[in-house]
Amino acid sequence: MAGWLFFLLFFSTFEGFAQNDTLMIDVAHIRLDSSIAKQCWFTTRPKGEAVPDSAIPLLPFKPGAIAKYYPHYPPAASLIEKDNYLKFFLYNSGDSVKDLVFLPGFYCWKIELFKSTMNGAGSGLQRIDEKCRTFSGSRVLSLAPHEKAIFYCRFNFVRTNVNIFTPYLIETDYITQWLTRKRDLDYMLDIVTYVVSGIMLLMIFYSLAVYLQNRNNEFIYYAIYTLCTAILLFLKSYLSVKANAFHYVYEEYLDFMIMIASVFTYLIFVRKFLNTREQHPGLDKLLRWALWPLAILSGIFTILYFSTEKYVVLTNMEIVIKLFFLMLGVTFIAYSIKRKDTLLNYLAAGSFALVFFSIISQGIIMFGWKFFPGFPLLNRAMFYYELGLVLELICFLSGLAYKNRRDIIERVKERERLKLENERKEFEKQMAVMAATQHERDRISADMHDELGSGVTAIRLMSEILKSKVKDRSFPELEKISNSANDLLGKMNTIIWTMKSSNDTLESLVAYIRAHAIEYFDSTPIECSVRVPAVIPQVDISGEKRRNIFLSVKESLNNVMKHSHARHVSINITSMDSCLLIVVADDGIGIDTENLRRFGNGLNNMRRRMETIGGSFKAETKDGAILSFELPI
């Protein structure tokens, strides 16, 4: 049996060299790098099928088989779920040893490279385990001068849709530059990605600052959302040409989980930012219940990832979750269109931009769409996803500015409302105090009228009765008692009139002055005339103002009676332009400046009283004395 195996191995090897010289690669002619996809033989085996190393040369390799798997494009899903085998022929026509780096493609792992020395079955197949330090997803092979050899490679693809199936041979000294060149092909996309990641980082700081200032919990969720998005974008670009276990796990699992986490926190943010519980109950119910299917689907995806090697199942599961995202976004947009809510429409516009460009991004990944053949950046899936994110961010900031402006207006209105409410309460308090004061004034005036007034009136009456009984005898003291009681009664009536709140009107003041003047000059030689307006304005005047005005006018009438030697006195009361004017004029001797000391104190009292209540007093002589009392009302 071993002999037959040796014979088949030797024969197949010999046949490969003899009949496939056209597929043999002369490594001495390789300058820097060379794609060997067309010179490779290819075959696959189901995963889990144990193929011994010694049996690899016996597999049914076919020349040019890679072509049907679209070289330079992601491999078919069937290849990702299988063990893949490559076979290629190398010849060194040079006079020196040739060292090369071989990689089957990007995002390949479990790479096993073998070299056939044609020294018999088993012993002629040598494993090459040396990895390239610069790029661990490759192996270093070596050919002696004029050596011919067959190489076999067994490898697996990472379970992601960003694999590139293009076998390369690269000079060992050029591998660093080659990787840099590959990365430079996407330098524009990397710049865009890093810029968008930086914007997301700024939004994280902004959200945290807003939270610290206002304690708005929704901005914590927005910070987590932007953090997940920034990590997703940054690692996509930073790990693009790296081959390590973390990168493979990131491409297979972590990137999608980070995307789910970002959507999850964004849904919570939307609920709190829009206050959907109170403003949009239907939308709140939708978003709240959407969190459960999202958590369940992500859990199922996690279980499938760690429990199966099937790529198609994971891909279908990923498509299901993305379709759930799509349905949720479309429902949110449709709901927002029906509701005339500006803030809601801002977020809906951002969601529309993100959904629209995400569909384009997914189409490029799944169907290889190309829109601008001359502009590689505009044909990259990540570019359109990032464009959607930026537009969503712009719409969010616009909505945030609108909300801040609306909140400021509402806070101003609330402050004005509270101010008016406080003013109203203060006014009510003052009104209550005023009402209590007026009530107390009315009570005191009533007590004075009922108690003191009746007592003083009794004294006056008894003095008059006593005077009538002793007509024949003169008692100056009795006369003084009668005059004092009469004077006290008049003053008390004036005080009672002043204190009574029902008299706090201009009409009451005018009537009281008129009645007092006519009564004061009654039974005297002086004729008194009083002119009042036909229509007296309904204006309130406090008791203090009424008292000072009345006492001032009373003092002027007293001066007319005692010092003017007048035969006629006129009182003219007018009210115009929010001003009360009372003019007392007589036809007497006027104000005698030589005898001013006799009644100068009265003039000063009148001026002081008017100034106390914000009015003015003027005295002049013109065919008698003219005294003017003016008070704003």
Question: Same domain, yes or no, for 176 and 229?
Answer: no
Residue 47 lies in a domain: yes
Question: Is the model's pLDDT at 10 over the cut of 50?
Answer: no
Last residue within a domain, chosen from 132, 159, 183: 183
Per-residue burial over 74-94, b = 16 or more CB atoms within 10 Å of its CB, e = otherwise: bbebebbbbbbbbbbbbbbeb
Q: Is the pLDDT of residue 12 over 70?
A: no
pTM for this predicted structure: 0.67
Instruction: Give residue 71's pLDDT band: very low, low, confident or very high (50, 70, 90).
Output: very low
Neighbours of 359 (CB within 10 A): 15
597/610 same-domain check: yes
**Secondary structure E strands in 246-361:** none
204 with 305, same domain? Answer: yes
Report yes or no on 432 lying in a domain: no
Confidence (pLDDT) at 596: 56
- Mean pLDDT (the chain, rounded): 84
Checking if the pLDDT of 470 tops 90, the result is no
Point out the least confidently predicted range of 100-109, 119-128, 199-208, 521-530: 119-128
Lowest-pLDDT range of 195-209, 446-460, 547-561: 446-460
DSSP annotation string for 52-98: -GGGGGGS--EETGGGGG-TTSPPPHHHHTEEEEEEEEEE--SSS-E
pLDDT tens string 247-265: 999 999 999 999 999 999 9
Residue 255 is assigned to a structural domain of this protein? yes
> Which CATH number covers residue 160?
2.60.120
Give the domain CATH number at 628: 3.30.565.10
Note whether residue 427 is domain-resident: no
Please report the pLDDT score of residue 119 as a whole number: 45
Residue 429 domain flag: no
- Residues whose CB falls within 8 Å of the CB of residue 369, separated by 6 or more in sequence, listed in order: 360, 363, 379
The edge-to-edge listing of strands for the beta sheet with 527-531 is: 527-531, 568-576, 579-586, 625-632, 616-621
User: Do 120 and 229 belong to one domain?
Assistant: no
Range of the domain at 566: 504-633
Last residue of a domain, one of 168, 183, 198: 183
- What is the band of 487 on the pLDDT scale with cuts at 50, 70, 90? confident
Pair 246, 375 in one domain = yes
Residues 39 and 66 occupy one common structural domain: yes
The pLDDT value recorded for residue 477 is 66
Is the domain of 193 the same as that of 132? no
* Residues in contact with 584: Cβ distance below 8 Å, sequence separation at least 6, in sequence order: 553, 556, 557, 560, 569, 570, 571, 625, 626, 627, 629
Instruction: Flag the least confident range among 144-148, 280-284, 442-446, 561-565.
Output: 442-446
Judged against a pLDDT cut of 80, whether residue 18 lies above it is answered with: no
Residues 159 and 223 in one domain: no
pLDDT, tens digit (0-9, with 9 covering 90-100), for 396-405: 999 999 988 9
Last-in-domain residue among 368, 386, 420: 420
Same domain, 167 and 195: no
Contact at 8 Å (CB) between 630 and 615? yes
Q: How confident is the model at residue 118 (pLDDT cuts 50, 70, 90)?
A: low
Is residue 356 included in any domain, yes or no? yes
pLDDT at 473 over 70: no
The three-state DSSP-derived secondary structure of 503-527 is HCEHHHHHHHHHHHHHHHCCCCCCE
Supply the pLDDT for residue 70.
44
Is 7 in contact with 57 (CB distance < 8 Å)?
no
Which residue has better confidence, 228 or 106? 228
b/e map 402-422, b = 16+ CB within 10 Å: eeeeeeeeeeeeeeeeeeeee
Report the distance separating Cα 399 and Cα 393, nearest Å: 10
- What is the share, in percent, of the chain residues with pLDDT greater than 70? 85
Whether the pLDDT of residue 123 is over 60: the answer is no
Domain check: are 232 and 135 in the same one? no
Mean pLDDT of all residues in 166-183: 91
Tokens of 277: 């519980």
Residue 333 pLDDT level (bands cut at 50, 70, 90): very high
Q: H or E segment at 479?
A: helix 476-499
Q: Is the pLDDT of residue 102 over 80?
A: yes
The conformation of residue 168, written as its DSSP 8-state character, comes to E
pLDDT of residue 21: 57
Confidence of residue 15 (pLDDT cuts 50, 70, 90): very low
Average pLDDT of span 32-54: 89
Residue 59 above 50 pLDDT? yes
Q: What is the mean pLDDT of residues 434-454?
A: 65
At 120, the pLDDT band (50, 70, 90 cuts) reads: very low
Asked if pLDDT for residue 5 goes beyond 60, the answer is no
The answer to whether residue 440 sits within a structural domain is no
Same domain, 64 and 153: yes
Q: Do the domain assignments include residue 410?
A: yes
Q: Do 158 and 201 reside in the same domain of the chain?
A: no
Number of domains in the chain: 3
Assigned token pair, 513? 């002055």
